[in-house]
């Protein structure tokens, strides 16, 4: 983990940070992502009927979000929410959740 890096190496990483930033996304997740965990649990919770998204395949999350957005897949709140995000934002959020432990 980054916190174990000595300061010198940390500084070196900082220097090449531009591409790293783009690859891994901003602190706390891409825009909108942090709101999702209000319903989609970060930790495994046995008594929730709302599926977790952490660790799911990015492509699956993208498919669901696009189908919610178009109405092809029926939903309660997700259709309303997905309409607030464009393809690029959905891709970023999907990658963010896919990178987390299942």
Partner 1 sequence: MSTRRHFLKLGAAAAMTPTVVSAQSAGAGRVVVIGGGFAGATAARTLKVLEPKLAVTLVEPNPVYTSCPFSNSVLADLREIGQQQFRYDGVKRAGVTVAETSATAVDVDAKAVVLADGSRVSYDRLVMSPGIDFNWAAIPGYDEAAAQKMPHAWKAGAQTVLLRQQLQSMQDGGLVVMSAPANPFRCPPGPYERASLIAYWLKIWKPKSKLLLLDAKDAFSKQRLFQNGWAELYPGMIEWVPLSQGGKVTSVDPATLTLVTEFGSHKAAVANVIPPQRAGAIAAQAGVADRTGWCPVEPVAFESTLRPGIHVLGDAAIMGGMPKSAFAANAQAKVCAVAIVELLAGRKPPDPVLINTCYSLVAADYGISIAGVYRPTNGQLADIPGAGGVSPLEAVGGLRGQEALYASSWFRTITAEVYG
CB–CB of 55/100 below 8 Å? yes
Shortest CB 34 distance to partner 1, Å: 4
CA atoms within 13 A of residue 2's CA, in its CB half-sphere: 7
Interactions with partner 1, residue window 70-99 (CB under 8 A): 74, 76-77, 79-85, 89, 96, 99
33: CB partners within 8 A, 6+ apart: 92, 93, 96, 97
Shortest CB 16 distance to partner 1, Å: 9
Residues that bind partner 1 (CB under 8 A): 1-3, 5, 7, 10-11, 13-14, 17, 20-21, 23-29, 31-32, 34-43, 45, 47-50, 54, 74, 76-77, 79-85, 89, 96, 99-101
């Amino acid at each position: 983990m980054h916190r174990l890096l000595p300061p010198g190496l940390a500084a070196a990483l900082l220097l090449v940070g531009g591409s790293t930033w783009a690859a891994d996304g901003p602190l706390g997740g891409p825009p909108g992502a942090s709101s999702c965990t209000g319903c989609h649990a970060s930790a495994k919770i046995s008594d929730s009927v709302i599926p977790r998204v952490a660790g799911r395949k990015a492509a699956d999350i993208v498919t669901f979000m696009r189908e919610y957005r178009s109405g092809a897949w029926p939903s309660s709140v997700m259709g309303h929410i997905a309409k607030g995000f464009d393809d690029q934002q959905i891709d970023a959020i999907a990658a963010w959740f896919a990178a987390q432990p299942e």
